[in-house]
Each structure stands twice: as structure tokens, then as C-alpha cells.
Amino acid sequence: MVVALCAFTALTCWPAIGGVEIDLAGLVRNWSNGADKIAQLLRPDLTFLPRTVAPMLETLAMAVAGAAFAAIISIPLTLAAARPSNPNPLTRQLVRFCINVNRAVPDLVFATVLVAMVGVGTLPGFLTLFLFDLGVVVKLVSEAVDSADHPYLEAGTAAGGTQAQINRATVLPQSWPLFANQWLYSLELNVRISAILGIVGAGGIGRLLDERRGFFAYDDVSVIILEILVVVVVIEVISNALRRRLR
Amino acid sequence: MSRREVAQRHGEVAPGPDEPVPSPGAVEQTTVTSTPASTPALPPKPSRVTATLAAVATGAVVLAATAGLNISWTELGDVPGRVVEYLLLMFADPNWEKLPRALFETWRSISMAWLGAIGCVVVSIPLGMLAASGMGPAWLRVGLRAIFAVIRAVPEVIIALVLLTVTGLTPFTGALALGIAGIGTQSKWVYEAVESAPTGATEAVRAAGGSTAEIARWAIWPAVAPVLMSFALYRCEINIRTSAVLGLVGAGGIGSMLSNYTNYREWDTVGMLLIVVVVITMVFDLISGSIRRRIMEGARVRDVDRTR
């Protein structure tokens, strides 16, 4: 076991087959470059702050709208992807497969391709977040529904309800906390991701960040990073508080 | 479905960032109390004012966000057509000639992910243990947790952009960025695992006169090692995804190749690369997921399945 792990690690460090060339000497040699950058980043130019407000609001709007639309669509898809609510193996596996493929595409890759498809702006950002959230919510909630106990469901079947009636009357009510939990989580992730989506042209604060970095205006970049930090932490605190209420 | 239920669903469909979500019990409550109020034995209906206000506020936030998006909604009708057109361009006839190059770059991405995960895990296990309550001194604990929170909030791409100036546009930068960016979350998992470990062994070692280091080695480590190994594999899974993202900013690997061919508008190659990314990610998740289950749940027990 240990030998196999060591061999695998060794292979990953072999540049000839694509491995990473570990360049510790370069790290020491160019240390001052990074230290300079960090020193510049530590001197934020707060007069830049007003210009970041509009893009930040755009970022938040993308995050909220993406999470909200994904939340609505996630309900039928989750029911279709969980065994208790969809006994038909064919459609269940089909939905699961689509969700797994969707989840395997990294967020920024979605954004890059979508920017090329539908043009620069908030639309590709919104679509990226929507698809990403759909993957997260459907996967996690349908697995939770799968592993939960379903005595009510059996009662519904015994009472002769159709699958739609059973889903409506038993599966959904006991899944709302799971849903709400994941919706909040996806909103949290969205704020994080949407901040960098702009780097590939998908609108929001990331575009401003990329632009200021292009001008080597590191004092402005540092203001933007600080702002992202504050917003992410605030959203996280709010979302954690709401989620504690859910339990 | 009654109007009240519609409103309630509306509230639960879209929880906004700054108002309480209606409690899940509300659904059952409505059905219980919806019998006619003429029978005096029933308790009064619970107030629905808060839930309604929350639902309205959530709806308002979502509407405002959607309106603020600056999307020309009239053009939205064209989007599915355009997407289908590009999907055909990408997947109707993927260009498999560049596959060897793609696999080379994939190995580079996997290497970045693996080395980044090792670096991250090696650093975060001791740091996370020090940050667990009962292990390090309080000032160190608070300081470390603040550092983890800051690292968690900084996107990997930004860490990579700073590192680029030190190590240049190399995969090594990617591995370093992955290693540093992961420390925040990984350490949090470590201290949460340590804190939720059973305390019996810790007390026993302390009663036998063990120091904090000895407690960590002989009580904590045996208890949490399987969980930590599982987290390490999970970190690797996350890194596989993130390494493709880092490639987009120039750290090399499959992401760089994807970004380049998207810019050249060579859609058949982009389609092939997307297939490679998806397949590799899914296979890696499958392997890592089964190892994690093996670590956490042990070998499969031969037993009658009573669940169905």
C-alpha cells in the first residue's frame, strides 16, 4: 500500500510524462517577487472602494438568481433522482447520469465554454451558477432522500396513493429541511464562485479584479479581495445562522 | 392545492440570504390546523405572519436580483438554439487526434492535484490538531482558526495569481496554490474531527501522565486517522476539479489546453477535451469514493439486506 502510494507520488513528479517539475530553487530565488506582491497587496487603496460597489451587487445578483432558479428546478429533478420517489429505474438512472456528468465539469470550465457560446456578460455567469447549483442540490438531496427511512411512504403506498400523490404528501414534506439546507449551501458557494467567474468574462466583480490586475494596480486588487472576503464571510455567517434554525 | 399552500411553497422555494426560512414543521401544522375552528378544543392557529413576511422578502430579493442582472431577456429565446448549435459542433464529431496530448495534460492536472493534496494534508493535520479545543493554548487556537477562515474565503485562483509571480507559469505553481488554498477547509475538518472524537482515550492518556503531544499520538491519532485519510482522498477529488480551473489562469494541465482551444474556437477539440475531463473526473470520483467507503465502513459485511 505504502509502496504503491510512493510510486504514484513519484510518477506525478516526473516531468517527461506530464508530471510536475518541483522547482524549490526557483521558490527561493524569486521569493522577493512574491513578497513584494504581498507587500503591495497589504496596502489597499480604499479610495477605490466606491467603484467596486456596482460590480459587487452584480455578483450578488448572479449568485442569488442562480441559486433561486436552481432551487425551483431542483425539486422535480431530485424527486426523479431518488429511489423512493421514482421507482422507474430507467428515468432515475438517466437523471442521475446527467447530474453526474454536470457535476464532473468544473465551474470555471462551464463559464469559459458558455462565455464563448452566449457572449460576455452576466448571462453565462448566471447559467454557470444555475448548472453548478443544480448538480450540488440534486446530488446531495437525492442521496439524503435515498438513505432516509420512509415509513410514511409505505403508508401512502398501502393507502393506494399514486406515486405523484405519495411524493407530494410524504416525500416532499420530510425533505424540505434537506432542500433548504442545500439551497443555502449553494448560495454560499455561489458567492464564492461568482467572485472569480469574471476572470473568464462572465461579469461581476471578477471582471474588475482581472482588469485591475492587468494594470498591475495591486492596491485596487487588494481592495477587491478584501471586499470579496467580507461578503463571503457575511453570507457564511447568515447562512450558518439560518441553517442552525433548520435543525 | 390551497392558496396558502402555494404561498408557503413559494416561501420555501427561494430562501434568500437575510430572512429566516419557514420551519419545515409548518407544512404539517397547516394540515393539522386546517380543520374548521368551530371546535373549541383545538388550539389557536399558529401565527403565520413571520413566515409570510419571510416569503415576501425572499421573493422581493430574488426578483430584485433577477432584475439587476442586466440580461436582455428578449434574446434569451435564442440561447437554447445557440447552445444546441455549439453542442453539435463540439460533440457531433470530436477531434480525437489530439487525444495523446490531452492525456499528457490530464496527467499533469492529476499530478498537480495529488501533490497539492499531499502538501495540504501534511500541513493541515498538525495545524488542525493544534486548533482543536483542548489541544493547543487558547490564543493559538483563535489565531489559527482566524487564519483558516481567511484562507477559506480567498479563491484558489487569487492565490495562484500571487504565486505566479514567484514560481512562474508552471504546474508547480498550480500544485502550490492547491496546497495552500486547501489548508483552510482541510484544517477545519481536522479540528472538527478531533473535537468530535470520543474523549475516553484522551482522559486515559492524561491520567497516565501523558503530555499533550503524547495525547495527540496515542489517543487522538488512532481515533481520527481513518476519518483524516478519507478527508485526504476527498481533498484529492476536489483538487482534480480545481486543477482544471487553475489551468484556465495558466498553471498548465488540461485546463490550459481547454482554455486555449476555446479561444481558437476549435470546437471539435474542445468537445474531445470536455469528454476527457468528465470521464477522468468521474472515474477518479468512483475510485476514490469506493476507497473512502472501504476506509470508513470497513469490508462489506455479508448479511441479509433488511432495508427492502
Which string of DSSP letters, residue by residue, matches B129-157? HHHSTTTS-HHHHHHHHHHHHHHHHS-HH
- Residues in B touching A31 (Cβ below 8 Å): 166
Q: Which residues of B187-198 are buried (b: 16+ CB within 10 A; e: fewer)?
A: bbbbbbbbeebe
pLDDT tens track for A48-62: 888 888 888 888 999
Burial class of residue B107 (count of CB atoms within 10 Å of its CB; 0-12, 13-18, 19+): buried
Q: What CATH number should be reported for the domain holding residue B272? A: 1.10.3720.10
B156 and B103 in a common domain? yes
Task: Tell me: pLDDT of B111 over 50.
Answer: yes
pLDDT above 90 (res A147): no
| B225-266 pLDDT tens trace | 988 999 999 899 889 888 888 887 778 888 888 888 988 888
Does the residue B51 lie in any domain? yes
pLDDT tens-digit readout, B268-292: 899 999 999 899 889 988 898 888 8
Instruction: Summarize the confidence of residues A176-204 as an average pLDDT.
Output: 85
Q: Is the ipTM of this complex over 0.85?
A: no
d(CA B68, CA B81): 25
Interchain CB distance below 8 Å, A238 and B18: yes
Report the mean per-residue pLDDT for chain B. Answer: 81
Contact yes or no for A110/B255 (Cβ under 8 A): no
Domain with CATH 1.10.3720.10 in chain A: 45-246
Q: Are residues B144 and B13 in the same domain?
A: no
Q: Is the pLDDT of residue A133 over 90?
A: yes
| Selected residue of B19, B34, B66 to mutate for chain A interface (largest A Cβ count, 10 A) | B66
Q: Is residue A205 pLDDT above 90, yes or no? A: no
With a cut of 50, say whether residue A238 has pLDDT above it.
yes
Q: What is the pLDDT of residues B50-74, one digit of tens each?
A: 888 888 988 888 888 888 777 777 7
- Chain B residue with CA closest to A17: the answer is B104
From residue A48, give the alpha-carbon distance in Å to each of A52, A197, A231, B60: 7, 21, 17, 30
In a shared domain, residues B64 and B160: no
Collapse the DSSP code of B23 into the 3-class scheme (helix H, G, I; strand E, B; otherwise coil) and give the result.
coil
Q: Are residues B122 and B33 in the same domain?
A: no
Task: Give the count of domains, chain B.
Answer: 2
pLDDT for the residue numbered B122? 93
- Residues ≥6 apart with Cβ < 8 Å to A77: A95, A99, A134, A138
User: Are B19 and B108 part of one and the same domain?
Assistant: no
Give the pLDDT band of residue B36 (cuts 50, 70, 90).
low
- Chain A residues in contact with B112 by the CB 8 A cut-off are 20
The CATH number assigned to the domain with range A45-246 reads 1.10.3720.10
Amino acid, res. B231: F
* Model pLDDT, residue B1: 43
Q: What angle do CA B211, B214, B220 make, to 5 degrees?
A: 120
Which amino acid belongs to residue A49? L
Q: Which residues of A touch B65 (CB under 8 A)?
A: 60-65, 68
Confidence label for A9 from pLDDT (cuts 50, 70 and 90): confident
Residue B15: the pLDDT is 45
pLDDT of A96 higher than 80: yes
Answer for the pair B123, B163: CB distance below 8 angstroms, yes or no.
Answer: no
Relative orientation angle of helices B221-248 and B156-167, to the nearest 10 degrees:
70
Question: Where does the pLDDT of residue B307 fall: very low under 50, low under 70, confident under 90, or very high at 90 and above?
Answer: low
Q: What is the mean pLDDT of residues B206-224?
A: 89
Report, as an integer, the average pLDDT of B97-105: 89
